[in-house]
Amino acid sequence: MNRRQFINLILGGGALGCLASAVYPVLRYMMPPEQVEADPDSIKVGSVKDFPAGSSKIFKFGRKPVIVIRDLKGGFHALNATCTHLDCIVQYQKENDIVWCACHNGKYDLSGKNVSGPPPRPLDRFEVKVSGEEITVVRTA
Amino acid sequence: MTILSVLFAAFLPFQCHAAPVKDQCVICHATLGDSHQAILKSFSRDIHREVGLSCSSCHGGDSSSDDAGQAMGAEAGFVGAPTRAETPKFCGKCHSDPSAMKKYNPSLSVDQEVKYFTSVHGKKLQAGDSKVAVCTSCHTSHSIRPAKDPSSTVYSKNIPQTCGKCHSDAKLMGSYKLPADQVAKYTGSVHGKALLERGDTAAPVCNTCHGNHGAVPPGVENIGHVCGMCHAHNEEFFKAGPMAKAWEKRKFHICSTCHNHHDIQHPTPALLSSDNGVCRKCHLAGSAQSKAAGAMKAKVDEIEGSYKAAEKSILTAEEKGLDMAEARDLWDSARMSLFQAKTAVHAFRPEKVAEAADPGIEATAKARKSADEAVHEFGQRRVGLGIASLFLTLLALGLYLKVRDLESGQG
């Protein structure tokens, strides 16, 4: 290989490499990324018949768990499901019609107010909208 | 001196009972030296002063008279400072009287004095021991603040220190054949650290377990209920499990037999160790019970290990500026499983521990995989950047050589 051929090889290799370095990120950009969960303002959680009186379900509202409760009288409530004491996930206790944290026996009423045990503050509330049969949980202002 | 004392009284934020124009107690006592002035200064922030009470409200006397004999005479109802033995009844004049308390704080209970005389302190006082704690030992005499006020001696964060004034006094406690290390032990316990280091005012403190006005050591039958106030599931599992009867038969303290009391440490799987765990206090090595403890330990070890490993991977990724929101969610859910697995140990059934731990182990594996993949991709990008830079350098070098080659060809 003479000097000129060597120079051409460096030039050609460098050009090809630069082209590939430019094309590869473009191609990666065009490929759909893994779905990242957005931070929504509302989520649909099902229909009224999915929630018999005295039942509850936990949903992801963006990144945070939200507990949707249908109380014994048929009313709907939605609360942040993360206990304000040490971040455990709360649950609905049908027998006492309260929200309960199993970790340290913290209790909240259905409006989210901390009523007993260690929780230092209430659970954040969400609005529940019932439109026909469909239930939507909406972030409160 | 009189002018000075009047001026001093005028500047003190002090209003007397029934709002007299001037409080002769303050005017005179302000002239009686530092100790009296210190009392007046303390009382200016006292809750009783804030609700409009004055010296004479507690000590009696006539606060409008500048005649010491008349102001502090028996005819004016002067009772002076109570002895320690007299203190509970002295405070109880109002605090045990519902109609008196309604005027100032209707929601405050009026059973403190009754409870006090059910306490070890109260019983000893009645038996003639004046060294025991009375109202002022905990609440102070003239700097009394509501229990929810952080400056109060009975605010939750201040209670260990308040109780420790006596209970850490080895000489005093020695006279009752009591240890004086409870506060030191509590301070190093999981509860003490939660309260004093993390500022979690929900953490239990001396009076949570012992009561306050009716302070007594919790008995064998009560201790489970006391711990169960917060650790409800642990108590429930234990009482429904196979150990409850054995504990009852042997008069073991439900919780403290394994966890101690003042120096309760954060429970680790080591408690279940078949070599030197707490189960070995009663169960022989190689017994079915010891094997069950080993199986539970293995499962708790597994979830705790995977939980810590996932946290390490997530932190590594986050240090590189990578978004680990999804992995954090998985890790959070595993934290619940870890908690539930440790709670399930109190049922003494390995399958119950596994049932609680397995979803968490799965979640931590996913979280760790997600974090590790993100870190791997981050590394790949850096390598890619290096390769692209190399090609750019190569191209620049090639161009330079080409230009020189062309120039030398022309020459």
Write the DSSP string, chain A: --HHHHHHHHHHHHHHHHHHHHHHHHHHHHSPPPPPPP--SEEEEEEGGGS-TTEEEEEEETTEEEEEEE-TTS-EEEEE-B-TTT-PBPEEETTTTEEEETTTTEEE-TT--EEESS--SPPPEEEEEEETTEEEEEE--
Q: At what angle do helices B232-240 and B243-250 cross, to 10 degrees?
A: 90
Average the pLDDT over B261-278 and give the result.
89
Is the distance from CB of B91 to CB of B135 less than 8 angstroms?
yes
Using the Cα atoms of residue B397, residue B399, residue B402 and residue B403 in order, give the sign of their dihedral.
negative
B35 phi, psi to nearest 5 deg: -65, -40
- 8 A C-beta contact, residue B211 and residue B226: no
The DSSP 8-state label assigned to residue B298 in this structure reads: H
Model pLDDT, residue A37? 61
With contacts defined as CB-CB under 8 Å, which chain B residues touch A88? 335-336, 339
pLDDT digits (tens, 9 = 90+) for B12-54: 433 334 444 578 999 999 999 999 999 999 999 999 999 999 9
Which tokens go with B103?
Answer: 């005027």
* B81 has pLDDT over 60: yes
Asked whether residue B344 carries a pLDDT value surpassing 90, the answer given is yes
B62-94 as b/e, with b when 16 or more CB fall inside 10 Å?
Answer: bbbbeeeeebbeeebeeeeebebeebbebbbeb
Q: Say whether A13 and B230 touch across the interface (CB within 8 A).
A: no
Minimal Cα–Cα distance from A13 to chain B, Å?
7
- From the list B202, B335, B340, which residue is nearest A85 (CB)? B202
Q: Which residue has the higher pLDDT, A60 or B6?
A: A60
**Is the pLDDT assigned to residue B274 strictly greater than 50?**
yes
**Residue that the structure tokens 């949903």 belong to:** A59
Residue of A3, A11, A103 lying closest to B395 (CB–CB): A11
**Does A18 score more than 60 pLDDT?**
yes
Residue B190, judged by CB atoms within 10 A of its CB (0-12, 13-18, 19+), counts as middle
In chain A, which residues have their Cβ closer than 8 Å to the Cβ of B328?
63
Q: Which of B148, B389, B391 to mutate to test the interface with A (most CBs of A within 10 A)?
A: B391
Q: Which pLDDT belongs to residue B407?
A: 86
Contacts of B239 (CB under 8 A, 6+ apart): B224
- Give percent of chain A above pLDDT 90: 64
> Amino acid letter at B380?
Q
Extents of the domains making up chain A: 1-36, 42-139
Q: Kindly report, residue by residue over B160-179, the tens digit of the pLDDT.
A: 999 999 999 999 999 999 99
A105-120, pLDDT tens digit by residue? 999 999 999 999 999 9
- What is the rounded average pLDDT of the residues A129-133? 93
- Which chain A residue lies closest to B406 (C-alpha atoms)? A4
Q: Pairing between strand A64-70 and A76-80?
A: antiparallel
pLDDT digits (tens, 9 = 90+) for B279-338: 988 898 889 999 999 999 999 999 999 999 999 999 999 999 998 988 998 998 899 999
User: Which pLDDT belongs to residue B251?
Assistant: 85
pLDDT exceeds cutoff 50 at B3 = no
- What span, in angstroms and rounded, lies between the C-alpha atoms of B304 and A73? 41
As beta bridge partners, residue A128 has A137
Q: Which residues of B touch A89 (CB under 8 A)?
A: 333, 336
Q: How far is CA B143 from the centre of its chain?
A: 23
Considering only the C-alpha atoms of chain B, give the largest distance between any 2 of them, rounded to a whole number of Å: 129
Q: pLDDT for A52-105, tens place per residue?
A: 999 999 998 988 899 999 999 999 999 999 999 988 999 999 999 999 998 999
Q: Which of B230, B325, B394 comes nearest A10 by C-beta? A: B394
**pLDDT tier, B221 (very low <50, low <70, confident <90, very high otherwise):** low
Please name the amino acid found at residue A22: A
pLDDT level of residue A2 (50, 70, 90 thresholds): confident
In whole angstroms, what separates CA B229 from the centre of its chain?
Answer: 15
pLDDT bin (cut points 50, 70, 90) of residue B275 is confident
CATH class of residue range A42-139? mainly beta
Residues 9-68 of B with CB under 8 A from A: none
Q: How confident is the model at residue B7 (pLDDT cuts 50, 70, 90)?
A: very low
Whole-angstrom distance, CA of residue B243 vs CA of residue B238: 7
Query: To the nearest whole number, what is the mean pLDDT of chain A?
Result: 90
Question: Given this model, what pLDDT does residue B355 score?
Answer: 96
Contact between A105 and B203 using a beta-carbon 8 Å cutoff: no
List alpha helices for B202-268, DSSP H.
Answer: 206-210, 223-228, 232-240, 243-250, 256-259
Read off the pLDDT band of B411 (50, 70, 90): low
What is the H or E stretch that residue B42 is in?
helix B34-43
Residue given tokens 């503050």 in the structure block:
A121
- pLDDT band, very low/low/confident/very high, at B222 (cuts 50, 70, 90): confident
Give residue A38's pLDDT.
67
Using DSSP's 3-state secondary structure scheme, residue B19 falls into coil
Q: Does residue A9 or residue B360 have the better pLDDT? A: B360
Domain boundaries, chain B: 1-81, 107-214, 218-265, 288-374
Q: What are the chain B neighbours of A14 within 8 Å (beta carbons)? A: 391-399
Measured between CA atoms, how close is A133 to chain B, in angstroms? 30
In chain A, residues with a C-beta closer than 8 Å to the C-beta of B388 are 17-18, 21
Q: Measure the CA–CA gap between A47 and A68, rounded to whole angstroms.
A: 12
Query: How many Å is the maximal CA-CA distance in chain A?
Result: 92
B406 CB within 8 Å of a chain A CB? no
| Residue found under tokens 């009392």 | B39
Question: pLDDT at position B8, please?
Answer: 40
The mean pLDDT of chain B is 90
* Confidence label for B71 from pLDDT (cuts 50, 70 and 90): very high
What pLDDT shows up at residue B21? 52
Give the tens place of pLDDT for each residue, B110-156. 999 999 999 999 999 999 999 999 999 999 999 999 999 999 999 99
